[in-house]
Amino acid sequence: MQVRAGVAEATVEGLIADVYVRHDGLAGRARELIAAATAEGDSRHADLGRLVLAELDNRGGRVADGVRQARDMLESSDDRVVLAHAHAVIAGGLWRVGDNAEAVRHAYPANRMLVDGDPLALRVDHAIILALQVNDQRIGGISHEEFEAAQQLADACGMPALILANLNNWAWCSYTGGDLESASALVRRMRAHSDRTGEPLNASCADTVARILLETGHPREATLVIEQAITDAAPTDSDAIPAALITLADIQRRDGDTGTAMRTLAACREIAARDRLPDVDALALRMLAGCHAELGDFQAAYREMVDFHEAWTVRRSEQSEVMARVAHAQFAVDEAHRNTELFREMAERDALTGLWNRRRSDAQLATVLGTDRPACVALLDLDHFKLVNDTFTHAVGDIVLCRVADILRALAGHAGRHGGEEFILVLETDLAAAAEICEAMRRAVAAYDWQAVAPGLRVTTSVGLTPVRPDDDARSVVRRADEHLYVAKRAGRDRVVSGR
């Protein structure tokens, strides 16, 4: 079994790394892992395989589906590693629809829940996600600390795809944060690592390299990199190739070849329409407007800008819709969980008094009996309660039960209705302290303003109390408390009788 578990772990690590490389056949490999792990009763690796499929949904533009699957995993699994990776998948999905603040809130537990000894590729993946999301859209420059931590893990892991992924994100955030010097140094590291290991740059990495080469005065080299990526590099996100085309069009436009740039943008828009990528289409429209303006066709430029603003509005609307669907899905999960807890509690509450019912009290008693901590059990019975019902009506009797329940709730630990006018207390303390609690409750019941409930009404209670013994079961300890209660009744009622 350990050998098979080791194979499954290696398979998971390979899948995690290959998400950053190429998606062809990846879903099939994940399903094979799920089937094999399920057959072996290995729920951890089966669930991690399912989360790979969820991540592929995220990267394929099906964020609502990907996040939903990961949220379902948060509800259904109690495996720490699975839960950590579910948080990572949710973080990635939310980041892709622009909810960066909520994404970071999932990225942190994804990173912190993993420890030394957990699959290293997962730890790298989660560190990469956290570093990117902490720095994306950051105001005031880049924080290198998170990227450096992720890089140390990636280098220790040794998987080229993960090393390149972190360097790529680090370079891009440095560039967008205005630190072109760091971005350029990181691009050099990316290219050197790719050459040394033979791991090709995926389309997103090539886009970063080309963009930074362009900004640092190497347009020819940037053109070679981005053209090769468009022709040969594997896309790891649905918008990777169209984004690369936008970079190529920008290079062509800056080189004065506006007509070629417009044809490149047209090709970009065709892919965006085919793959339903309105965000990319809007960016292409904005660049087309600039191209028309450079050619002196201001009417066409105006039309393109109008189209851009309409497309951008649609994109924001669609993005908001996805975020709303994600939020609705989480609301449904939370509500179902809340309702489950609510209905469970309702099933364990006495309908009249709101105290715990007999079933819940039995469960609480079983929990106490399973420990070696001091505990006591008390039975309380309302004195002459039949006379209360006969004299003042059953409605008044019900009010009395509810008022006594309020007193018990305020003073006791676990208080339950044991049946009729009898109550049970499970007190996790020693006999002396439990006796003080019971005496306080007896006095509180006797001193209550029962005249306000019904003129002439007086209510007292008798209590039998006993400690839990090492050899007790539920029946023996309750029987002993009942015996002490009987003694209290025979001794004149309105008193506490305790004994071992």
Question: Over the chain (500 residues), what is each successive 10-residue block's mean pLDDT?
Answer: 65 92 90 93 94 93 88 89 94 84 85 90 94 73 85 94 95 89 95 93 92 92 90 82 91 90 90 79 80 74 60 52 49 49 62 82 85 90 90 87 88 85 91 92 92 90 92 89 93 90
Question: Using CA atoms, how far apart are residues 138 and 149, in angstroms rounded to an integer?
Answer: 18
Q: Which CATH architecture has domain 1-137?
A: Alpha Horseshoe (1.25)
Identify the H or E element spanning 379: strand 376-382
Q: 3-state SS of the chain: helix, strand, coil percent to 5?
A: 70, 5, 20
Q: Which long-range contacts (CB under 8 A, 24 or more apart) does 292-298 make?
A: 294/253, 294/258, 295/258
Helices (H) and strands (E) in the chain, counts: 21, 5
Predicted local confidence at residue 14, as pLDDT? 92
- Write the Ramachandran bin of 492: left for phi over 0, alpha for psi from -120 to 50, otherwise beta: left
CB burial string 27-47: b at 16+ within 10 A, e below: beebeebbebbeeeebebbbb
Sign of the CA dihedral with 84 first, then 90, 93, and 97 last: negative
Show which residues are catalytic. 421
Question: Using CA atoms, how far apart are residues 210 and 172, in angstroms rounded to an integer?
Answer: 11
DSSP 292-330: HHHTT-HHHHHHHHHHHHHHHHHHHHHHHHHHHHHHHHH
Predicted local confidence at residue 178, as pLDDT? 85
Within the chain, which residue ranges are assigned CATH 3.30.70.270? Answer: 358-498
Predicted local confidence at residue 410, as pLDDT? 81
What's the N-to-C CA distance of the chain in angstroms? Answer: 52
Within the chain, which residue ranges are assigned CATH 1.25.40.10? Answer: 1-137
Q: The tokens of 269 are what?
A: 């828009």
Give the up-direction half-sphere exposure of residue 192: CA atoms within 13 A in the CB hemisphere.
Answer: 7
Cβ contact 418:361 at 8 Å:
yes
Predicted local confidence at residue 308, as pLDDT? 57
Cβ contact 210:229 at 8 Å:
yes
DSSP 450: G
Question: Using CA atoms, how far apart are residues 399 and 405, in angstroms rounded to an integer?
Answer: 10
What is the bridge-based pairing of β-strands 461-467 and 376-382? Answer: antiparallel
What is the bridge-based pairing of β-strands 496-498 and 461-467? Answer: parallel
- Return the bridge partners of 99, or none: none
Predicted local confidence at residue 291, as pLDDT? 82
Q: What is the CATH number of domain 358-498?
A: 3.30.70.270
Question: Using CA atoms, how far apart are residues 52 and 329, in angstroms rounded to an integer?
Answer: 20
Reduce the DSSP state of residue 1 to 3 states and report it: coil
Predicted local confidence at residue 232, as pLDDT? 84
